[in-house]
Structure 1
Amino acid sequence: RAGYETMLREDCRLARVLFDAAAAHPEIETFTVGLSIATFRYVPLSFTTPGAPGPKTGTPDGEATLNKLNTDLVARLQNGPDAFLSNAVLGDTYVLRACCVNFRTTEADMKRLPEIVARAGRELSG
């Protein structure tokens, strides 16, 4: 039992590590962290840069575009070799959902994940 509790605590800690790393990334917007799950989405810099062309976060067009982009991003990541994420919908917002449950997952893996997501998001958003 103690070993199982230790593994669960580590999964929860890794979710927090991921959430903090994602929060520090300029192209990732974080939403929730609880138990071993963290939620976030990819947001291109142009969506948050005043004066940059294109849609913005918080606008109907911008949110619809981000929902579509992140939907496509989940599919791309699930079919790629780097990470497997699922999704969640929080209100009207489509987000990426990472659940840390593999005993082989490391802190370094969690710290790399935001850039993996951002790189794939950049490729999709052109």
Structure 2
Amino acid sequence: MRVGRCACSFCRRHGARTLGDPAGSVEFRAASGALSRYRFGLGITDYLLCAKCGAYVGAVMADDGKAIGIVNVNSLDISDTFDPAPPLHHYDGEDEARRRARRRKFWMTATVIA
């Protein structure tokens, strides 16, 4: 399990601390229309936002016929159990192949039901 921070402007604006666990899984469950999806950068990832308040809850990416993802621990009721200042990672300059390879290593199986 790994908690980290991304240095991109989107993640910094949201104050995101994201959790990935390649041995685990995450299920994003919300009422129909309650999640918005946002894409930027390479356009390969859906960033999941609360449609009402805009809070960033997680991200998912299609990979080899399945979805993998991370969760923003700040959106959890137990967010205070995680490091308040995990390592900051800079991913500038990654091409799609390197980004997918990194995410396969650290992200977890994901399901979105919304």
TM-score (norm 2): 0.30
Larger Rg: 1
Which has a greater percent of strand?
A: 2
Which has a greater percent of helix?
A: 1
